[in-house]
């Protein structure tokens, strides 16, 4: 599976063609394209291959004043709308509250009635490990600033998981100047990271891994083929305390995402199909072992946090009562950014040309948003190899996103790029997500579980004419924990695209700022006032 490149259109316009290329792209760079699986254990791009073919056929026929409706990865109908309306709307993984359990969700999936679309798989917005790379990098920078006198330089980071998202970790540790061990149970994933040049070496032996870290230079990251629960436990037992400890296995999914200590990697592959309930129970017991070890390492002085994979929930379910004394990364380190609408924004060069990506890198630096943006883009240019259609993740904020996207649309219009550009973002963004153990953990006013916000965000984005709008909820271990909204808008060089980009990007991140202002965060309130966000009477006062 490869995404179409070049300027040949297979659809009736670039908006439709762009979404088709985005769909192809998530499978081009996905973890198991043969099963339509993109990332996060079983995050899929379409319900099944028949649905995939019918989505492709619909996108090819769709007129600009029609909207395709997709329910959990299956296309269900095309309706007349208007050129100002979304080309695609979708809802994925939503089950009413009482029924939103991992077990019932799995049953519905097994019956072919729905699918887990991850956050960016089912709505075709995944851009590979880079999608989480800057997030992990910014997080480690914040940890360095807060705990280690300004920098992570030379610090020992212990983490695990080298899957779709987790494979960003070695590079992020290196870019932040740290050293580390990444534990991964699948030798093939370690080999892949080594071949990409992100790991310095791979071993199956903990002592060898520790020895090669020794006084190795900054940026040395060793892949350890082992089970995280075993390794974390062993380190805690021996009193070897890393500076920073986290985990990015797909712990949210106790069946397909986390290998129990009782099984080898190969045994786990079979067991999870033959005995999913037994595997889930064993996996939770193993996660409890790992989290207990993390708590011991924390008590011994390590900085320990969960990186958004629901590990603490799983451990708590298995009896670790103080699992939540481990910090969640978003609340602890990233909330100030969300208060200003700054989050994981991204763009994709639909031409497939690296020269387009280079031009966009040049432009975003030239627009001088903030020093952090410039330094990130410089690092990304040097160290991030293209995966699929050339893409860039870049944490821009409210106002910055729309200014940049409209300027890019001008480049497309003037023929200075080889093709249009799609703009999108992770659902883990200021306006996009309710997850009381990730993005909205510990909200100041106790509103962290209220899912009105991402639903409002999706409605607003539809009203603003985004090209694709999605409302997702969690499958497997995220069931009942997450509600989120996704959006894609295409810069095709037209005047209508300029209007759409400004309207949608300002609305999306603006609602995010208002969500935090409403919860009482003064940074968000001050920013909202300065940007004229809120009700007309507030805006009048600002003027």
Tell me how far, at minimum, the Cβ of 311 lies from ligand NAD, in Å.
Answer: 8
Tell me how far, at minimum, the Cβ of 330 lies from ligand NAD, in Å.
Answer: 8
Among 30, 73, 75, 161, binds ligand NAD (CB under 6 A): 161
Among 189, 331, 425, 500, binds ligand NAD (CB under 6 A): 189
Among 130, 134, 160, 430, binds ligand NAD (CB under 6 A): 160
Is 472 a binding residue for ligand NAD by CB under 6 A? The answer is: no
| Closest listed residue to residue 155, CA positions, set 138, 134, 176, 172 | 176
Nearer to ligand NAD, 118 or 219 (CB): 118
Is 453 a binding residue for ligand NAD by CB under 6 A? The answer is: no
Tell me how far, at minimum, the Cβ of 84 lies from ligand NAD, in Å.
Answer: 32
Tell me how far, at minimum, the Cβ of 126 lies from ligand NAD, in Å.
Answer: 9
Tell me how far, at minimum, the Cβ of 268 lies from ligand NAD, in Å.
Answer: 8
Nearer to ligand NAD, 248 or 519 (CB): 248
- Measured distance CA(409)–CA(402) in Å, rounded: 10
When computed from its CA atoms, the radius of gyration of the chain, rounded to whole angstroms, is: 22
Tell me how far, at minimum, the Cβ of 232 lies from ligand NAD, in Å.
Answer: 9
Nearer to ligand NAD, 185 or 490 (CB): 185
DSSP label of 31:
S
Nearer to ligand NAD, 258 or 404 (CB): 258
Among 228, 326, 408, 418, binds ligand NAD (CB under 6 A): 228
- According to DSSP, the β-strands at 391-396 and 433-434 are unpaired
Q: Which residues lie closer than 8 Å to 308 by C-beta, 6 or more apart?
A: 328, 329, 330, 428, 438
Q: Are 54 and 75 in contact (CB under 8 A)?
A: yes
Among 14, 116, 124, 258, binds ligand NAD (CB under 6 A): 258
Among 308, 343, 465, 475, binds ligand NAD (CB under 6 A): 308
| Closest listed residue to residue 464, CA positions, set 497, 406, 503, 495 | 503
Tell me how far, at minimum, the Cβ of 399 lies from ligand NAD, in Å.
Answer: 23
Is 144 a binding residue for ligand NAD by CB under 6 A? The answer is: no
CB-closest chain residue to ligand NAD: 163
Compute the CA torsion angle 55, 56, 59, 62 (nearest 10 deg): -90
Among 24, 106, 184, 457, binds ligand NAD (CB under 6 A): 184
Tell me how far, at minimum, the Cβ of 337 lies from ligand NAD, in Å.
Answer: 13
Is 279 a binding residue for ligand NAD by CB under 6 A? The answer is: no
Size of the site for ligand NAD (CB under 6 A): 33
The tokens describing 174, both together, are: 């290196």
Is 229 a binding residue for ligand NAD by CB under 6 A? The answer is: yes
C-alpha distance from residue 283 to each of 236, 257, 326, 542 (Å): 20, 9, 19, 54
Is 186 a binding residue for ligand NAD by CB under 6 A? The answer is: yes
Kindly name the residue from 190, 259, 394, 504 that is annotated as catalytic: 394
**Cβ atoms within 10 Å, residue 432:** 31
Among this protein's residues, is 92 annotated catalytic?
no
- Measured distance CA(321)–CA(495) in Å, rounded: 56
Is 26 a binding residue for ligand NAD by CB under 6 A? The answer is: no
Among 86, 166, 436, 512, binds ligand NAD (CB under 6 A): 166
Provide the 3-class DSSP secondary structure of residue 257: coil
* Per-position b or e across 446-477, b if 16+ CB within 10 A of its CB: ebbebbebbbebbebbbebbbbbbbbbbbbbb
Nearer to ligand NAD, 227 or 509 (CB): 227
First-to-last alpha carbon distance for the chain, in angstroms, is 52
Which window, 60-68, 140-148, 242-250, 466-474, contacts ligand NAD (CB under 6 A)? 242-250
Site for ligand NAD in 114-143 (CB under 6 A): 132, 135
Q: Is the four-CA dihedral 473, 35, 248, 340 of positive or negative sign?
A: negative
- Measured distance CA(522)–CA(506) in Å, rounded: 20
Nearer to ligand NAD, 166 or 454 (CB): 166
3-state secondary structure string across 439-482: CCCCCCCCCCCCCHHHHHHHHHHHHCCCCEEEEEECCHHHCCCC
Which window, 141-149, 177-185, 429-437, 442-450, contacts ligand NAD (CB under 6 A)? 177-185
Tell me how far, at minimum, the Cβ of 220 lies from ligand NAD, in Å.
Answer: 20
Nearer to ligand NAD, 203 or 409 (CB): 203
Is 169 a binding residue for ligand NAD by CB under 6 A? The answer is: no
Residues β-bridged to residue 224: 183, 203
Q: Are 157 and 180 in contact (CB under 8 A)?
A: yes
Binding pattern to ligand NAD, positions 34-53, x when CB under 6 A? -----xxx------------
- 433-437: long-range contacts, CB 8 A cutoff, minimum separation 24: 433/119, 433/482, 433/483, 433/484, 433/485, 434/482, 434/483, 434/484, 435/474, 435/478, 435/481, 435/482, 435/483, 435/484, 436/481, 437/306, 437/310, 437/312, 437/313, 437/328, 437/481
Tell me how far, at minimum, the Cβ of 489 lies from ligand NAD, in Å.
Answer: 21
- List % helix, strand, coil for the chain (3-state, nearest 5): 45, 15, 40
Provide the 3-class DSSP secondary structure of residue 521: coil
Q: Are 399 and 191 in contact (CB under 8 A)?
A: no
Among 259, 337, 350, 373, binds ligand NAD (CB under 6 A): 259
- Measured distance CA(260)–CA(196) in Å, rounded: 27
Active centre residues (catalytic): 394
Question: Residue numbers of the site for ligand NAD (CB under 6 A)?
Answer: 31, 39-41, 132, 135, 160-166, 183-186, 189, 227-229, 248-252, 257-259, 307-309, 428
């Amino acid at each position: 599976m490869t995404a179409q490149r070049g300027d040949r259109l297979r659809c009736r316009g670039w908006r439709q063609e762009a979404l088709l290329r985005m769909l192809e792209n998530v499978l081009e760079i996905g973890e198991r394209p043969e099963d339509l699986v993109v990332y996060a254990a079983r995050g899929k791009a379409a319900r099944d291959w028949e649905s995939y073919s019918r989505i492709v056929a619909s996108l090819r026929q769709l007129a600009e004043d029609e909207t395709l409706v997709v329910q959990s990865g299956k296309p269900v109908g095309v309706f007349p709308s208007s050129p100002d309306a979304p080309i695609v709307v979708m809802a994925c993984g939503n089950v009413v509250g009482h029924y939103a359990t991992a077990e019932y969700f799995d049953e519905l999936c097994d019956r072919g009635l729905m699918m887990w679309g991850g956050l960016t798989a089912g709505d075709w917005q995944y851009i590979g490990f880079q999608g989480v790379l800057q997030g992990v990098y910014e997080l480690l920078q914040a940890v360095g600033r807060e705990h280690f006198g300004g920098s992570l330089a030379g610090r020992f980071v212990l983490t695990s998981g080298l899957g779709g998202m987790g494979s960003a970790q070695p590079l992020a540790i290196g870019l932040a100047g740290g050293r580390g061990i990444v534990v991964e149970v699948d030798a093939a994933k370690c080999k892949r990271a080594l071949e990409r040049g992100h790991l310095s070496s791979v071993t199956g032996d903990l002592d060898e891994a520790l020895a090669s870290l020794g006084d190795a230079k900054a940026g040395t990251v060793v892949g350890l083929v082992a089970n995280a629960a075993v390794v974390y436990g062993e380190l805690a037992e021996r009193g070897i305390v890393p500076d920073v400890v986290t985990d990015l296995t797909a712990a949210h999914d106790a069946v397909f995402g986390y290998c129990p200590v009782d099984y080898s990697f190969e045994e786990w592959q079979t067991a999870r199909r033959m005995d999913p309930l037994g595997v889930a129970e064993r996996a939770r017991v193993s996660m409890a072992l790992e989290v207990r070890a993390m708590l011991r390492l924390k008590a011994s002085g390590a900085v320990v946090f969960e990186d958004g994979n629901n590990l603490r929930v799983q451990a708590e379910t298995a009896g670790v009562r103080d699992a939540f004394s481990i910090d969640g990364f978003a609340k602890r380190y990233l909330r100030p950014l969300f208060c200003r609408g700054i989050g994981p924004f991204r763009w994709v060069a639909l031409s497939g040309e690296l020269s387009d990506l280079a031009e966009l890198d040049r432009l975003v630096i030239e627009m001088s948003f903030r020093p952090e943006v410039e330094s990130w883009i410089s690092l990304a240019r040097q160290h991030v190899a293209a995966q699929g259609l050339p893409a860039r993740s870049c944490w821009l904020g409210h106002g910055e996103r729309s200014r940049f996207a409209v300027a890019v649309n001008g480049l497309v219009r003037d023929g200075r790029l080889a093709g249009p550009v799609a703009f999108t973002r992770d659902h883990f963004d200021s306006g996009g997500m309710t997850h009381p153990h990730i993005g909205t953990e510990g909200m100041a006013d106790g509103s962290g579980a209220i899912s009105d916000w991402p639903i409002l965000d999706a409605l607003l984005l539809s009203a603003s004419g985004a090209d694709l709008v999605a409302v997702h909820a969690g499958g497997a271990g995220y069931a009942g924990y997450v509600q989120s909204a996704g959006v894609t808008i295409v810069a095709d060089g037209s005047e209508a695209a300029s209007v759409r980009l400004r309207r949608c990007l300002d609305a999306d991140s603006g609602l995010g700022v208002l969500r935090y202002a409403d919860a009482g965060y003064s940074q968000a309130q001050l920013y909202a006032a300065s940007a004229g966000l809120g009700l007309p009477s507030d805006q009048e006062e600002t003027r």
